[in-house]
Amino acid sequence: MSDAIETIADPTTEPFWRACAERRLVVQRCGDCGHHQFYPRPFCLACQSLGVEWVESRGEGTIYSLTTVRIPVTPELPPPYQVAIVELAEGPRLLTNIEGEGAAIGGAVRLGWRERDGLPPLPVFTPA
């Protein structure tokens, strides 16, 4: 798995992928102003501090935006499937998939994991 992480990560994203390998969703938190952010960056978007640290998300959020893909895009993802922007309880939004029935914009979701051959699992969400 560590070789797989080296092929997909860079120094900024490597801690995220290592946490995914342990089925932990992490986001960055600024040690100076407390701002949470995702995707990973080398500095805080709110105050430009370099003192960003990694914290584990509670894995709870709400669906900010949602669509169903009905056209094949990649062989690994046969349609139909749901693509969403989920707003985490900590504040950051991430692009992800919704698995399961009953998803709606504004609906509560909970973190799950999609296993992948030879790669860290991907964080996905299910309606809570």
Binding residues for Zn ion, per CB under 5 A? 30, 32-33, 35, 44, 46-47, 49
CB of 37 to Zn ion, least distance (A): 9
Q: Residue 7, SS3? A: helix
Q: Quick one: tokens of 92? A: 């950051």
Q: Which residues contact 83 (CB under 8 A, 6 or more apart)?
A: 66, 67, 68, 69, 95, 96, 97, 98
Give the nearest distance from C-beta 15 to Zn ion in angstroms: 18
The encoded tokens of residue 72 equal 């094949």
Task: Report the alpha-carbon distance of residue 67 to residue 65 in Å, rounded.
Answer: 7
Judged by CB, which is closer to Zn ion: 47, or 77? 47
For Zn ion, which is the closer residue by CB, 47 or 108?
47
**Residue 94 CB, nearest approach to Zn ion (Å):** 19
Residue 51 or 78: which CB sits closer to Zn ion?
51
